[in-house]
Amino acid sequence: MSKRVQTPVWFAAMILVAALAVGGLAGQMTKGGPVFTVAAAAPAAGPSVPTDAGVRSSFAPVVKLAAPSVVNIWSSRVVRNRGNESTNPFLQDPFFRQFFGNQFGHPAVPKEKRERSLGSGVVLSADGYILTNYHVVENGSDVKVSLSDRREFPARVVGTDSKTDLAVVKIDQDNLQPIRLGDSSKVEVGDIALAIGNPFGIGRTVTMGVVSAVGRGGLGIEQYEDFIQTDASINPGNSGGALIDTNGDLIGISTAILSAGNGGGNQGIGFAIPINMARNVMDQIVRTGKVTHAYLGVSIQEVTPDIASAFKLNGLAGALIGDVEKGSPAEKAGLRPGDVVTQVDGKPLPDSRSLQLGIAQMQPGQTVHLTVVRDGQQRQLTATLADQPPEPTNAQSSGDDGDSGQPPESSQVLDGVQAMTLTPQIARQLKLPADTKGVVLTDIAAGSAAAEAGLDQGDVILEANRKPVSTVDQLNQIIKQSGKQPMMLFINRQGRTTYVVIPAQTP
């Protein structure tokens, strides 16, 4: 909606009086002197400001239109609590603790407890389909919906999608008021937005703010992130609620906040899933009960300035391929780790996230044409997308792995970094093939350049400056040869490969 600023009447009058005092608008001064002509002032350079809208005094009509479509959702589930046990399964293995120490405490006795989740939802159809967040109903055994008129109904979960944090539930009711869907592609920074939900369980609440950013991602909240950021107050309990525009149209599903500490409330930074992203997910769930994402089979990284320099991209943007899964469409198309995808179907990629989001919105079986840069040269590859495979399990192997003897000692390889040559036994503990060659990092000093670059305990260095690494001695030799130049490492982290660049060290 365009905004126009009205010129105040008193200001226009002042201009008129001042002009008449000089001699009139386009008039003449003839008393005892030369003739003066006062010309109209030329318009100032720069963008014009629309003048057909002001700030409205009330959004009550908009709220009355949309609020009946926003519901409260309660969900409960039984969970097992292991107290302070580390979440990293590798660090629970007695053998592995020889290398990393017993610094994570002892596992507590497993306990069961019932958790209750409170959230919001948005009515999609008159016959009871409701859109909400996946985390609101995740593993829920008892889901209830409370309508705006306070009637409560049991609900069943029709389908979920953890990758976008969306879910659809259904209640057996008719004549509900569905919300009107907007177009999130038209949302702009500075647009007014209203958030409707049930924060902290106090009841339906409406807050107002502006759209602070669009296309926000890389937050690690969900696998597919393209958030609308807003400063409209979003608090615990708002999850799954509506973010609407000034027409009452749904533009997003409130899903996350940036809070200070555990249990912290709104800090003025909230995130909503754009309705255009949610529309495809909810349509699939309503139609088939599940969601299918197209699958390329790569792990991607952001092209940082250091990586762009290391790969000699000469200003090109795109997505760095960190890993290619075996048997995937990417492998069949010829993609390799170290390739940088710069275009998909002829459209440039402004960043790595654009590749992930673009593939996610395609259909399995669809053919895509990829422009990649490999070793400074452009290549054209074609891939046929597949169905996304099921999530891998975290089952761990047990029993004797057939290796014995004392582990090698750790050595310093970089400033603040201790490492050792990878053995078959350690490789198996890290869920890597026993014949994997490399150097495993055993300690990273906090605040070191390696820690700041993202290296962590258990990372396995496979290459340094594009050269294979099999032993600590080889790694140290490459580091020595690099001098004060940046060090680019190709590492394996829990079975996935990625690139890490350690900036040049200043003396």
Residues with catalytic function: 135, 165, 239
What is the C-alpha separation between 501 and 480, in angstroms, rounded?
Answer: 16
Q: How remote is the C-alpha of 1 from its chain's centroid?
A: 28
What are phi and psi for residue 425, nearest 5 degrees?
-65, -45
Residue 290 Cα to chain centre, angstroms? 22
Torsion of CA 38, 44, 45, 47, to 10 degrees: -140
What CA–CA distance (Å, rounded) separates 120 from 135? 11
Please compute, for residue 244, the number of CA atoms within 13 A of its CA located in the half-sphere on the CB side.
28
The pair phi, psi for residue 279, each rounded to 5°, is -60, -45
Q: What does the alpha-carbon distance between residue 505 and residue 497 come to, in Å, rounded to a whole number?
A: 24
Q: 3-state class of 58 per DSSP?
A: coil
Residue 267 in contact with residue 260, Cβ under 8 Å? yes
Instruction: Tokens for 304, please give them.
Output: 């940082």
Task: Measure the CA–CA gap between 127 and 92, rounded to whole angstroms.
Answer: 49
Residue 316, CA distances (Å) to 301, 320, 345, 348 in order? 14, 11, 16, 9
CA distance 232 to 425: 53
